[in-house]
Structures are given as structure tokens and as C-alpha cells.
Structure 1
Amino acid sequence: MVQKASYESQHYNRYEPTPYPVLERLFDYVELEQTDRIVDFGCGTGRLNFYVHHRFQPTVVGVEMNEFYYHVANENKNSYLGVFGFSESRIIFENSLAQDYAIHPRDNVFYFFNPFSIQIFINVINNIVHSFEEESRDIQLILYYAPEDYVFFLENKTAFQLKREIPLPGNVYEKFLIYSLEVIAPTRKVD
């Protein structure tokens, strides 16, 4: 899909949907639960949201700053619900800048397909970490085509740990990186 409108800023990248074969490869390695709550930053028309919801039935949240795509995503949601009859409450789209999205205490999986600059990414990650501090839970970040500055920031300035790299055929840069921030269980004292 060709981007119809853009936000006037050097901090946001052009919308490009993740191809279905790439999503299939990712979710051959990553299992989601119905209790998960997935957030897709820069969701566009909702491709990832519908794919993940259909495959695993978790709650999916698409955050999209572009008003045109936000409306298309909601139209797609109405069509999807009409065909499959799922509950509307488990598919949510928000028309918002990523850094302004209020992280829900149950949000635990975050998807990024290089949607914005490192400055915005840092703000979003800081929001996620703050939410983790308020409501501890295991959190996963899924990065597709992650820029080097995203990786440097996560590995040198945060407690996120790289858990898995999922290479894709063809291009050395085309891969998924899975980072996690996990709740550490308290150790028990032995008398």
C-alpha cells in the first residue's frame, strides 16, 4: 500500500506492512497466549493486528499516528469482525503518536518495524520501562529490520536482554530480534 499522507516530521518513517510470509516465519518461533496484549507501533492498516489476533486470539492494540491509516484500520476491523465474528473489545486501534500512547498495565508484547527515529524509540522504551516499574510483568519487544541505534540503545542503556534472533532468507539485515525484560522472582532465604 502506498502511503497516502505522512506526518510532517523527520522522526517518522513511511508506512510499510510486514509481509505475510515474514509474519508466518516469526510466529513459527514466537508463541503468544490469549492472555497477551500486543501493541504494534505504526500499525498502518492493521495487518499484523489481524494476523496475530486470528492466529492466537490475544488482545491486539494498533497505535497509528496517521489519521487516514487509522480510519482504514477501523474499516478493516469492521470487515474482519463481520467475517470471523470475534469480539471487538480484543482489537483496538488508537490514533496517537507512539510516544503519547499510554502503556496499559497488561501490554506485554511490543512490535516495531522501524517506525520512527531513535529519539522517539527511546521515549517509547522509557514509557514501557516506567509501566514495568509500576506493574511488573514479563515484557517482549519484537523488532523487525531494527536499526543499529535501536539495538545499541537496548543493549547498552536498558535492562532488556536479547533472547532470540530469527534470520530471514536473503538479506543479512532482514531479521527479527526478540528482547525481553523479565520479572525476577525473589530468592528465598534459607535458615
Structure 2
Amino acid sequence: MTDQELDKFLHIRTEGTIEVLQSSAHYNRYEATPYQVLDVLFDTYPLKPTDHIVDFGCGKGRVPIYSAYRFKNHATGIDLNGRLLQEAYVNLAEFRAGQKRSGGSIEFEQKTAETYEIQAGQNIFYFFNPFSVEIFQSVIDNVLKSTESKKRKVDVILYYPTNAFVFFLEEETPFERIEEILIPTLSIDNDDERILIYRYE
């Protein structure tokens, strides 16, 4: 199915790329992860109902809603932009109303990524280049600090990863790369069209 068809199936509207004015130049435009990418990711990396994924720069909520529908896991979307989050809340309400079966728990929060407090049960963190490497460093530091009070395995998922994100994780943190997933029909002549998964335990 196309992205439009899958949105319709889930009773949500998450398509498009939107340039939005942010209070900080460190934050990037909204662009939803293609469903094809999510299919490939979660075919290789299935979630458990006990997993709690956090999508930084969640926009209209595609990743949290899709994952919770497919796996009934917990999902949290973080975004600074109130306009996009308002659409995410509408999508969540329409998704809930349109489903015969219940998905996992889904919540959204309007917050700068670097000030968001990582919760003890959160163990998977998803990034599709939502902001600068400086903010990414702060978020990863917060993730690692959270493992000091609640020891657990945590994974970081990067779609379309920048060299700066990769260098930081591999050279300046204890995270280790455990998976590289190429996106079959999207990766022609584009080495960045891939997913990298890192783990700390």
C-alpha cells in the first residue's frame, strides 16, 4: 500500500513535508518516515508489547501510532511544534475511533527534546534527523543518565543518519552498532537511505 492508503487504513493524516518556524534554528522541518521504511525496520526489529518507543520530532504522530497498532507497545511522541502536535492528537483520536482492536498506549508531549525527562520504562529512541547534533548529544546524555537510576538495555534507531550523529554515537558514547538495514527500493544511488540501530546495556 502507498503512504496515502496506509494513512487511510489507520484513519490518520501524516503525509507531506512541512517547513515550520521553530523557536530554534537547531530544529529541522517535518517529514514523516515513509511507511515502507517502517515496514522494513519493524520486520527486522519487531517490538514487544512491553517496549516503550520514544519518537523525537514525532510531528503528526505516524511512528508512535503505527508501532502501537502493529505491536501494542507503549509509544511517546515528542515535538516542539504545537501545530504539528495538535494534528497528532487529532490523528490519535481518529485512530482510536477507527480501530476495532486497541493498540498500545500512545501519548504526545510538546517539549524541547533536550529538556524532555527520559522515563524509566522507555527503552527505544527513534530519530529521523529532527534536530542538530548538539541537541542529539544532549538527548543521548539524558538517555544514558536515565540508565543510571534504572539499569536497562536501551536502543537508538537512526533513519537516514547524518555523519555527525553516527560519529558521536560511535566515538563518544558506549553505544555499539548492532544492525544496519538498507531500504531496498529507496537506497539506489543513496548510501544514506538506511537505518542504523545502536545498543547500550
TM-score computed with the length of structure 1 as normaliser: 0.91
Distance 1:127 1:86, change over 3 A: farther
For the pair 1:111 / 2:126, whether they are aligned, the reply is yes
Distance 1:149 1:5 in 2: 23
Equivalent residues, number: 182
Amino acid at match of 1:176: I
The correspondence of residues 1-191 of structure 1 with structure 2, limited to 5 A, is: 1-3=16-18, 5-84=20-99, 90-168=105-183, 169-170=187-188, 171-182=190-201
Amino acid at match of 2:150: E
SS at structure 2 position matched to 1:172: coil
Please provide the CA RMSD for this pair: 1.4
**Alpha-carbon shift at residue 3 of structure 1 (Å):** 1.9
Contact 1:4/1:68 (8 A) holds in 2: no
Runs (5+) with no aligned partner, structure 2: 1-15
**Alpha-carbon shift at residue 9 of structure 1 (Å):** 2.2
Distance 1:86 1:65, change over 3 A: farther
Distance 2:103 2:193 in 1: 33
Distance 1:11 1:5 in 2: 12
Amino acid at match of 1:122: Q
Identity, in percent, stands at 42
Contact 2:71/2:103 (8 A) holds in 1: no
Distance 2:94 2:116 in 1: 25
Amino acid at match of 2:56: F
**Alpha-carbon shift at residue 156 of structure 1 (Å):** 1.0
CA displacement, residues 30-61 of structure 1 (integer Å, 9 cap, x when unaligned): 01100000000000000111110111010100
SS at structure 2 position matched to 1:143: strand
**Alpha-carbon shift at residue 86 of structure 1 (Å):** 5.8
Extract structure 1 runs of 4+ deviating beyond 6 A. Answer: none
Distance 1:52 1:174 in 2: 20
Distance 2:104 2:81 in 1: 22
Amino acid at match of 1:173: D
The answer to which of 26-35 and 89-98 deviates more is 89-98
Contact 2:69/2:102 (8 A) holds in 1: no
Contact 2:73/2:103 (8 A) holds in 1: no
Distance 2:104 2:161 in 1: 30
Amino acid at match of 1:31: P
Query: Higher Cα Rg: structure 1 or 2?
Result: 1
Amino acid at match of 1:100: T
Contact 2:20/2:30 (8 A) holds in 1: no
TM-score computed with the length of structure 2 as normaliser: 0.87
